[in-house]
Amino acid sequence: MIVTDFAEGDHPPALPSMRTLERFLTRAAEAIPLRGEVSVLLTDDRTIRKLNRKFRGKNKATDVLSFPPAQVLKSDRGVAGDLAISVDMAARQALALDHPVATELKVLMLHGLLHLAGFDHEADEGAMAARELALRRLLRLPGGLIERALVKGPAKKTSVKKLIDVEVRSTESAIKKATFKRSAGQ
């Protein structure tokens, strides 16, 4: 489910249709795989800043926040968690990277979904980066958040690149097998 929440008088950038974003959300969750319902809040910088301050102690706007289900709900496979995305930030990033806002929203959704699936790029030594790259290729998306951060910093690029290469080969192999099975009528 995707909902929007903008302050009265705000004029958010033009958004793609909710149907387009929901189809992408479903496809990306299936590709990860991530089971359960995901709610996505598309909002403005002001609201995401409040959420970031309240839940992460960081008093600044960010592009995407992920909220796994509360401990009580973890046994309920019907809920995978929630995402909050700043459309303002997505629009600025899309402009800087010269692609549509819709594309940036999808990149941010994928990144958030991977966090809901348990990946943590700050602690997993490249596993999330590798999985995100493979999924972006599968879903035909441009460079993601982790790659952008790697370009800026000297973080373990060699080991991350090796993990990415392995993950890409593994995902490409799985795609070829699935395609073969479909074409063979299995």
Q: Are residues 11 and 100 in the same domain?
A: yes
Phi and psi dihedrals of 2, rounded to 5? -120, 130
Q: Are residues 7 and 57 in the same domain?
A: yes
User: What gap in Å lies between CA 47 and CA 58, rounded to an integer?
Assistant: 13
Q: Are residues 91 and 124 in the same domain?
A: no
User: DSSP labels for 163-186?
Assistant: HHHHHHHHHHHHHHHHHHHHHTT-
CA triplet 23, 42, 148: central angle to 5 degrees? 85
pLDDT tens profile 134-165: 898 899 888 766 666 655 554 444 444 555 55
Please tell me whether the peptide bond between 33 and the residue prior to it is cis, using omega within 30 degrees of 0.
yes
Q: Which domain holds residue 137?
A: 120-186
Return the minimum-mean-pLDDT range out of 59-63, 107-111, 146-150: 146-150
Please report the pLDDT score of residue 158 as a whole number.
Answer: 46
Q: Are residues 181 and 144 in the same domain?
A: yes
Domain count of the fold of the chain: 2
Q: Are residues 128 and 150 in the same domain?
A: yes
For the chain, give the mean pLDDT.
Answer: 79
Q: Are residues 75 and 13 in the same domain?
A: yes
Residue ending a domain, among 91, 118, 145, is 118
Is pLDDT of 174 > 80? no
The domain that contains 99 carries what CATH number? 3.40.390.30
Phi-psi region of 134 (alpha: psi -120 to 50; beta: other; left: phi over 0): alpha
Q: Are residues 114 and 124 in the same domain?
A: no
Q: Are residues 48 and 77 in the same domain?
A: yes
CB atoms within 10 A of CB 100: 15
Please report the pLDDT score of residue 58 as a whole number.
Answer: 94
pLDDT tens profile 10-43: 666 678 888 999 999 999 999 999 988 999 999 9
Q: Are residues 30 and 100 in the same domain?
A: yes
Residue ending a domain, among 90, 118, 146, is 118
